[in-house]
């Protein structure tokens, strides 16, 4: 069984549980993923299937990708991603992976790209406390002391300092599956997942 599916994050909303408690959920639309290539240990050295999703006009497919789809006998898609499987020979090009695979799932891991925050200071980036706000203080949002004056007379590697924040691959594990709508290809998971609206995410069985 292929234990992952790719889709887009539509946003967040809330649903009511059976005991009338409000449950915050993220809505993920995972249209059927099509198998575009099967990789086996004999031909490629490992077992995997290549999943394709997202529609694209034929005129927008570049020549290398058009050749790849033609060689595999698959319809062109916008995105391609690989998923490792135990026995790839069981699958064939053209098979689809749908949200029905997750109808019995209780927990999933969701992977996405976090929102980009640009250049951020240590208070925003790492939650530093900062200094006093007033009373003549000249130390407010700066990082503070970063090195030693004598031994070893340098700034140690890995020190938390201001810099680029966000745009990282983040996985949130063990999110509860609240409901699965097979007609509309929707998966509702409890809590937040990385990325903004319409961001691409991977949903994998935990």
Identify whether 4 is part of a domain.
no
Identify whether 170 is part of a domain.
no
Identify whether 90 is part of a domain.
yes
Identify whether 181 is part of a domain.
no
Identify whether 58 is part of a domain.
yes
What whole-number distance in Å separates Cα of residue 114 and Cα of residue 18? 32
What whole-number distance in Å separates Cα of residue 52 and Cα of residue 36? 6
pLDDT at position 141 is 95
Q: pLDDT tens digits for 77-131?
A: 999 999 999 989 899 999 999 999 999 999 999 999 999 999 999 999 999 999 9
- Domain membership of residue 90 as a residue range: 33-97
Res. 166 pLDDT band, cuts 50 70 90: very high
Helix (H) or strand (E) holding 68: helix 63-72
Q: Is residue 150 over pLDDT 90?
A: no
Identify whether 65 is part of a domain.
yes
Identify whether 23 is part of a domain.
no
pLDDT at position 143 is 94
What does pLDDT average to over the chain? 94
Q: Is residue 147 over pLDDT 90?
A: no
Q: Report the helix count and the strand count for the chain, using DSSP H and E.
A: 2, 12
The structural domain count of the chain equals 1
What whole-number distance in Å separates Cα of residue 56 and Cα of residue 36? 14
Identify whether 76 is part of a domain.
yes
Res. 153 pLDDT band, cuts 50 70 90: confident
Taking residue 100's Cβ as centre, other Cβ atoms within 10 Å add up to: 13
pLDDT at position 148 is 85
User: pTM for the full model?
Assistant: 0.87
Give me the CATH number covering residue 47: 3.30.160.810
């Amino acid at each position: 069984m292929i234990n992952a599916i790719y889709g887009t994050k539509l946003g967040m909303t809330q649903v009511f549980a059976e005991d009338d408690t409000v449950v915050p959920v993220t809505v993920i639309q995972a249209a059927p993923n099509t198998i575009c290539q099967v990789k086996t240990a004999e031909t490629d050295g490992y077992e995997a299937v290549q999943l394709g999703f997202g529609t694209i006009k034929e005129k927008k497919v570049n020549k290398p990708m058009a050749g790849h789809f033609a060689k595999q006998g698959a319809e062109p898609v916008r995105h391609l991603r690989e998923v490792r499987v135990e026995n790839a020979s069981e699958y064939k090009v053209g098979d689809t992976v749908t949200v029905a695979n997750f109808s019995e799932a209780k927990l999933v891991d969701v992977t996405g790209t976090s929102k980009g925050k640009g250049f951020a200071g240590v208070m925003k980036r790492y939650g530093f406390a900062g200094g006093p706000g007033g009373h003549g203080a000249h130390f407010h949002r700066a990082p503070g002391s970063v090195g030693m004056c004598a031994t070893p007379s340098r700034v140690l590697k890995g020190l938390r300092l201001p810099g680029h924040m966000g745009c990282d691959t983040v996985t949130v594990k063990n999110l509860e599956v609240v409901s699965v709508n097979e007609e509309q290809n929707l998966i509702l998971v409890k809590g937040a997942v990385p990325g903004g609206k319409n961001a691409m995410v991977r949903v994998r069985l935990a």
